Amino acid sequence: MNESQEERQLPKIIVQICALIAVLAAFAVWMQMRAAALMISSLENTVASQATDVALMTEKQIQEELSVLSLAAGCLEPSPGDEAQDRLLRELRGMEAGVSVGVISIDGESILGDVLPYRTFKNLPVAMHGQAVVDYQAGYGLIFAVPLMRGSNVSGLLCRLYSERMIPWHFRMTALNSSMRLLLHDRNGQMIMPYRAYSEEDTDFFRSPEVQEALGLLRSQLETHRSAASYLMLNEKQYFLFASDLPHANCTVTGYVPWGAVAGPMTAVFSRSIRVAALLLMIFLSVGAYLVVTREKAARSEALEKEKELADQASQAKSEFLASMSHEIRTPINTILGLNEMILRKSKDAAVGRYARSVRTAGSSLLSIINDILDFSKIESGKFRIVETEYRLSELIQTVSSMMRPRAEAKGLEFHVKVNAEVPNCLYGDTRRIQQVLINLLTNAIKYTERGTVDFAVSHAPRPDEDKTMLRFIIRDTGIGIREEDQSRLFKGFERFDMQRNQHVEGTGLGLAITHNLVEMMNGSISFNSVYGEGTTFAVALPQKITAPAPIGEYSEADDAGSSEEYQVSFLAPDADVLAADDNEMNRFVLAELLKDTQIKLDIVSNGEEALQRLLVKHYDAVLLDQRMGGMNGVETLRAASRLPNSFGTPFIVLTADADLGARERFLREGFSDYLSKPLDFNMLERALMRCLPPEKVRPAPRPQPEASAPVISAPSAPATATADEAPVFDRKAALQYSAGNKKLFKKLAGTFAGLYEKKSAQLGELFASEDWNAYTDAVHSLKSTSLSVGGLRVSAAAKASEMAGKRFLSAESPEAKEKALNELRGNHESVLRLYGEFVAALRQETSLD
Amino acid sequence: MNQNIRTIRRRILRWLAPMLLAAAGLVLLALIFRPAPDEPEPEKPTVGFIVLGDVRSPGWNASNYEGLLAACNKLGAKLVVRDHVAERSDECLKAVRNLAGQGCKLIILASYSYPEEIRPFANEFPNVSFINMASKSYNPNMATYFPRMYQGRYLSGALAGIRSTSGIIGYVAAMPNAEVLRGINAFLLGARRINPKARVVVAWTNSWEDPERERHLAERLIHEAGADLITYHQDDMAAAEAAEALGVDSIAFNAPVPKGAKHILASVSCRWDIFYQDLLRDYLKDELRVMRTSWIGVDRNAVLLTSLSSEITPEMRAKLDTIRLELVNHMLIFRGPLYDNQNVLRCKADEAISDDTLLMDIDWLISGVTSLE
């Protein structure tokens, strides 16, 4: 996460925290409300059960009152109207005023004791059915009545009436705590019995609409409940109202208790538990927030890792794509180069030959670029391996030098090879890769050097342990050098510097990166020293094992001979039968054309199945199988073919573009006798066939020109770039080149040329004598081109000089210029005739030898 | 490998952490708002009802059941019914055990013999309150509730007194138990209030439900005893139907009167829904513990004459209503002097028969009642 992101995250976090706090607060409020409601309802239950208890106690008082009366009633009946009855009634009445006791007949008349208002009390008649009754009537008081029984029949009621004034003094309802205020109400809400110390304030309290409303609520609850309680807030004070009906009586115990008296200790518990809950919630949310943040971070780093993985995969995919593309490109180039080779061989036309060579050069450089890319991507993907073998350093140096010298010289550069004689010759290492390194460095040196020298020095630093040495290669040029700022990036891939100046220099920019990687893979080191504009020195040090202590000795340039450009078939095998299978038509054509000169009897098929059919009916001396074919591939074809009797002992050669590390070993393990990688190297193909074919069917190809015939006329080692004066009288190479290597054609041309000599030379002489300069110029022009086509380089050059002089004479305006050209023409005439004669003589000798 | 483990661990952390967090949160909330153990959810009271016949059969069974169901629905109680429970077998006890097992705290024994069968086992169910209908049995967890049907009988007797011209009223009755006898006695008292010479002839079926016999006896009462008005105390209304068929007036009992049966003057009915509401309220208020017997009558409008026929004139209605209001104001029906039909004084002039006696100890027919020979 970078700074700006972090800054952006900050307000987000603040918003989140605020949201969290808001949620927390809302939750806390909700929780408190819920808890308060819960608490109120639980307190209501408590108060209601207290009310039940109070009611029970009151009920008990009533029952006691009634049982006393019942007892008295039992005593009354046997002897009505005597002294004992009066005494009993007096006892019941007691000493206090406001209590009346009397007996009422079944008709409702007072027949004994105090006169009681029977009809006033609505429930009293119920007692006539034989039940004890408690009834209240406002203005009269509370009456207790029990039936007077005569046998099973009711004969009257014994009643005790407490006047309203007396009620509180007689019934001391026991409050459960000192704050509890109790009253007896009748069921219509009329107050019967206030608690003592009932004041105006209490009257106001009970008359307030809120309390009345609450009482109504309690009444409706009492319909189905023993007792009920209700929370009430009045004038900022909190109360619990409660009520419980008394059975048997039309009375209700009602009361109220302040909040504090019930909830006092519970409030503390409540607030404490709220605090604890809030704390827990806070901890919970903090931990939650922390975990969320952690998770976010983890997710982010995971996402980064995933992205990196994806990027790596993409890069890998690109490398692989590049590798496969390069690989795919090699196949058509192979075809192009193969067919171009055919053109080079077959074309008699000098111009076409030149074009074809250009195609070859361009194709080769394209191939090398492709190879660079392939190498680089292989190095990138780790598929590149070092394969070590025993080799001779001298051969390596010669190969490299012979490849680089012509290029250096073609650019007009001096190329020096300097080898320390003490360097051990027999070494063990990856000669192919060392060669690649050296060629890369030397190619660069030549490429970036316009004039001056390219030096290639080989030395070594002996090591204490005898079997190892540190080879040192120094490549020094006097080229453009490398800018200081570019030096650090030198060994990175796809980098080319100084683009403006080097825009004409071709290449992928991968060479040095590959070189650097190769050297490192061989445990070596590479360094360079460059001064911009003055030149660059690359130093490569490679540790190599010594297999034999022999030193390389004096390096001889003589061995470093340029190879002949001309293609020559190295063997003939007219009796050999060879089968080739390849599904690519161009490849088949190239293969057929390449092997045509060997006179091998070649059968070509387009797939593995056809190859098997041929093998079924015929024995072949060798089979060439393309690995990648439609249907059966090379390996499958080989496996199937190895079971056929005809193919017993037949060598199979695989042709494959699969040039991976270990591919050769893999194919040999599969049972192939040899392995040829595409694009096909014609020499490799021939060599492989020579090895594979039965020796009795192979004979060396006839040499087109025996070396011995040459010295008579020419110096064979003369460089091709020599000037006309130094040119040989007869240049066989040039002659063959212009005949496209066709000796018959050359002979034919040479015979014609020689046959015309007498006539032509006489004509030249006549024209010179008659001073017909116009015709003379035409004649030397003709001589110039015809002699060149049969290898008469010197005579051609001389003729050309005369032609030029003749043209100058003809076109000259001033007499001085004409005179000068004429003198030149005259001076040159003799040498033209002489060289003409010499050349024809050499030519005759040449042609007569064949 | 390491990276895999790390990725897996991270993934686990990614899912596990919020899950643990959520779980912790839930546990926390559950802890905070767990209902306290001493605060049980108020459970719905469950009422058991045991009855002899099918609760769908009209008459006693269906009217009780429907009334109880209405009361339960009104007061938010759950009703569990066991019908087809035979008397004088162990079936009632089985039904009680089953209902108690289902959590019934109030079981209504809605047939005369049940309480006797249950009483010896009642202490096995200390948490159950039994309701005993019109039986002598008693146990501390048994309370007797009964409608003052005799008030209805008194009213219907008055109606009979008004309508009957012969003054002879036929009474088809099941068996002479306290309930039936006090009904007959109240009926006669009602009839004599209008017509002091009125008589009642009772014909016994010895069965609560025997329509054939009831019909037959009703016809005999009309033809042999000369009754010009028939009433009955049975679970079905065959007697009234028989009278209707003969074009003779009748008063039904606890039954819906078919339309067009204009000779069926009225039905002595109980509003069982009101009755059971009062009962359930008492139970819910925990007052059953102090109630030994509880009567619910005209004063609660639980007992009344219904389906008054078009034959009854407004004057008759007014007369009946006056008597009804007297009853509401606690007029005593059974007040002395009362002689039974053997001329024994059962209640002196300044006495009234108590409820307890009415409930259990009426074994006599009042003077003026004779049995069909």
- For A645-682, the pLDDT digits (tens) are 877 778 888 887 665 656 777 888 888 888 887 666 66
Q: Is A286 on the interface with B (CB under 8 A)?
A: no
* Whether the Cβ atoms of residue A227 and residue A55 lie closer than 8 Å to each other: yes
Cβ-Cβ contacts under 8 Å for A348 (sequence gap 6 or more)? A739, A740, A742, A745
Query: What is the average per-residue pLDDT within A216-245?
Result: 84
Contact between chains at B350 and A130 (C-beta distance less than 8 A): no
Name the residue type at position B116: E
Question: CA of A38: how far to CAs of A378, B33, B35, in Å?
Answer: 77, 10, 9
Q: Is B281 on the interface with A (CB under 8 A)?
A: yes
Note the pLDDT of residue B67.
92
Q: Which SS3 state, helix, strand or coil, does residue B11 take?
A: helix
pLDDT tier, A193 (very low <50, low <70, confident <90, very high otherwise)? low
Question: How far does Cα B43 stand from its chain's mean position?
Answer: 26
Note the pLDDT of residue B134.
66
**A393 against A382, higher pLDDT:** A393
Q: Which two tokens stand for residue A113?
A: 């004791």
Q: How many whole angstroms separate alpha carbon B284 and alpha carbon B292?
A: 16
Burial class (CB in 10 A: 0-12, 13-18, 19+), B344: exposed
CA distance A225 to chain B (A): 5
Number of Cα atoms under 13 Å in the Cβ half of residue A430: 18
Q: How many whole angstroms separate alpha carbon A193 and alpha carbon A191?
A: 6
Chain B partners within 8 Å of A36 (Cβ)? none
What is the per-residue pLDDT across B305-344, written as a single tens digit (0 to 9) for each? 988 888 889 999 999 999 999 999 888 899 889 999 899 9
Please determine, for the modelled complex, whether the ipTM score is greater than 0.90. Answer: no
Query: What is the average per-residue pLDDT within A786-806?
Result: 79
> What would you measure as the largest C-alpha separation in chain A, in angstroms?
208
pTM over 0.95? The answer is no
Note the pLDDT of residue A440.
85
Contact between chains at A226 and B361 (C-beta distance less than 8 A): no
pLDDT tier, A715 (very low <50, low <70, confident <90, very high otherwise)? very low
Of B290, B348, B352, Cβ closest to residue A128 = B352
- State yes or no: pLDDT of A692 exceeds 90: no
What is the per-residue pLDDT across A176-186, written as a single tens digit (0 to 9) for each? 666 777 777 77
Query: What is the average per-residue pLDDT within B211-220?
Result: 93
Answer positive or negative: Cα dihedral of A636, A642, A647, A653: positive
Contact between chains at A291 and B7 (C-beta distance less than 8 A): no
Please name the residue that has the structure tokens 């307890």: B356
> Poorest-confidence range of A617-621, A706-710, B222-226?
A706-710
The DSSP secondary-structure symbol of A696 reads G
- State yes or no: pLDDT of A448 exceeds 50: yes
Answer positive or negative: Cα dihedral of B227, B233, B239, B241: positive
Contact between chains at B355 and A129 (C-beta distance less than 8 A): yes
Contact between chains at A291 and B21 (C-beta distance less than 8 A): yes
Q: Tell me the average pLDDT of chain B.
A: 86
What is the per-residue pLDDT across A103-144, written as a single tens digit (0 to 9) for each? 888 888 888 888 888 888 888 888 888 888 888 887 888 888
What is the per-residue pLDDT across A555-591, written as a single tens digit (0 to 9) for each? 765 444 333 344 556 777 888 888 888 877 767 777 7
Name the residue type at position A555: Y
What is the per-residue pLDDT across B242-267, written as a single tens digit (0 to 9) for each? 999 999 999 998 878 888 888 999 99
Chain B partners within 8 Å of A56 (Cβ)? none
Note the pLDDT of residue A647.
75
**B339 against A688, higher pLDDT:** B339
Q: How many whole angstroms separate alpha carbon A175 and alpha carbon A430?
A: 113
Q: Is A119 on the interface with B (CB under 8 A)?
A: no
* Whether the Cβ atoms of residue A637 and residue A616 lie closer than 8 Å to each other: no
Contact between chains at A295 and B17 (C-beta distance less than 8 A): yes
Query: What is the average per-residue pLDDT within A376-383?
Result: 72
* Whether the Cβ atoms of residue A7 and residue A1 lie closer than 8 Å to each other: no
DSSP class per residue in A646-691: GGTT--EEEEES---TTHHHHHHHHT-SEEEESSPPHHHHHHHHHH
Cβ-Cβ contacts under 8 Å for A450 (sequence gap 6 or more)? A411, A479, A480
Name the residue type at position B260: G
- State yes or no: pLDDT of A488 exceeds 80: no
User: A-contacting residues of B 14-73, CB under 8 Å?
Assistant: 14, 17-18, 21, 24-25, 28, 32-33, 36, 39
pLDDT tier, A175 (very low <50, low <70, confident <90, very high otherwise)? low
* Whether the Cβ atoms of residue B141 and residue B128 lie closer than 8 Å to each other: yes
* Whether the Cβ atoms of residue B343 and residue B367 lie closer than 8 Å to each other: yes
Of A248, A287, A295, Cβ closest to residue B290 = A248
CA distance B131 to chain A (A): 18
What is the per-residue pLDDT across A818-843, written as a single tens digit (0 to 9) for each? 888 888 888 888 888 888 888 888 88
End-to-end CA distance of chain B: 112
A244-280 residues labelled b (16+ CB within 10 A) or e (exposed): bbbbbbbbbbbbbbebebbbeeeeeebeeebeebbee
Does an H or E element contain A133, and which? strand A133-137
pLDDT tier, B165 (very low <50, low <70, confident <90, very high otherwise)? very high
Q: Is B300 on the interface with A (CB under 8 A)?
A: no
Among B157, B148, B133, B185, residue whose Cα is nearest residue B355: B148
User: B-contacting residues of A 293-312, CB under 8 Å?
Assistant: 294-295, 298-299, 302
Write phi, then psi, for A282 (nearest 5 degrees).
-65, -45
- State yes or no: pLDDT of A8 exceeds 70: no
CA distance B241 to chain A (A): 36
CA distance A129 to chain B (A): 5
Q: Is A461 on the interface with B (CB under 8 A)?
A: no
Instruction: Tell me how many degrees the CA angle A137-A138-A141 measures, rounded to the nearest 5.
Output: 65
Q: Is A260 on the interface with B (CB under 8 A)?
A: no
Of A155, A295, A302, Cβ closest to residue B350 = A155
Q: B299, B355, B359, B361: which to substitute to probe chain A, counting the most A Cβ within 10 Å?
A: B355
Query: What is the average per-residue pLDDT within B213-222?
Result: 93
Answer positive or negative: Cα dihedral of A324, A326, A331, A332: positive
Q: Is A610 on the interface with B (CB under 8 A)?
A: no
What is the per-residue pLDDT across A773-784, written as a single tens digit (0 to 9) for each? 888 887 887 787
Contact between chains at A107 and B286 (C-beta distance less than 8 A): no
What is the per-residue pLDDT across A694-704, written as a single tens digit (0 to 9) for each? 877 777 766 55
Does an H or E element contain B62, and which? helix B60-75
What is the per-residue pLDDT across A77-107, written as a single tens digit (0 to 9) for each? 655 557 777 788 888 887 778 888 888 888 8
pLDDT tier, A720 (very low <50, low <70, confident <90, very high otherwise)? very low
What is the per-residue pLDDT across A146-159, written as a single tens digit (0 to 9) for each? 998 888 888 888 99
Of B32, B75, B352, Cβ closest to residue A154 = B352
Contact between chains at B32 and A31 (C-beta distance less than 8 A): yes
Note the pLDDT of residue B162.
93
pLDDT tier, A716 (very low <50, low <70, confident <90, very high otherwise)? very low
Chain B partners within 8 Å of A299 (Cβ)? 14
Q: Are strands B106-109 and B129-132 parallel, antiparallel or unpaired?
A: parallel
Percent of chain A with pLDDT over 70: 84
Note the pLDDT of residue A334.
81
Q: A111, A133, A149, A152: which to substitute to probe chain B, counting the most B Cβ within 10 Å?
A: A152
Burial class (CB in 10 A: 0-12, 13-18, 19+), A528: middle
pLDDT tier, B230 (very low <50, low <70, confident <90, very high otherwise)? very high
Q: Tell me the average pLDDT of chain A.
A: 78
> Poorest-confidence range of A50-54, A202-206, A602-606?
A202-206
- State yes or no: pLDDT of A540 exceeds 80: yes
- State yes or no: pLDDT of B39 exceeds 60: no
Note the pLDDT of residue A797.
80
What is the per-residue pLDDT across B45-76, written as a single tens digit (0 to 9) for each? 899 999 888 888 777 788 889 999 999 999 88
* Whether the Cβ atoms of residue B328 and residue B299 lie closer than 8 Å to each other: yes
- Across-strand partners of A157? A104, A147
> What would you measure as the largest C-alpha separation in chain B, in angstroms?
116
What is the per-residue pLDDT across A351-367, written as a single tens digit (0 to 9) for each? 888 888 888 878 877 87
- State yes or no: pLDDT of A847 exceeds 80: no
Contact between chains at B352 and A106 (C-beta distance less than 8 A): yes
B361 to chain A: closest CA residue: A152
* Whether the Cβ atoms of residue B303 and residue B297 lie closer than 8 Å to each other: yes
- Across-strand partners of A417? A456
Q: Is A42 on the interface with B (CB under 8 A)?
A: yes
A109 to chain B: closest CA residue: B350
Chain B partners within 8 Å of A129 (Cβ)? 295, 330, 332, 352, 354-355
- State yes or no: pLDDT of B153 exceeds 70: yes
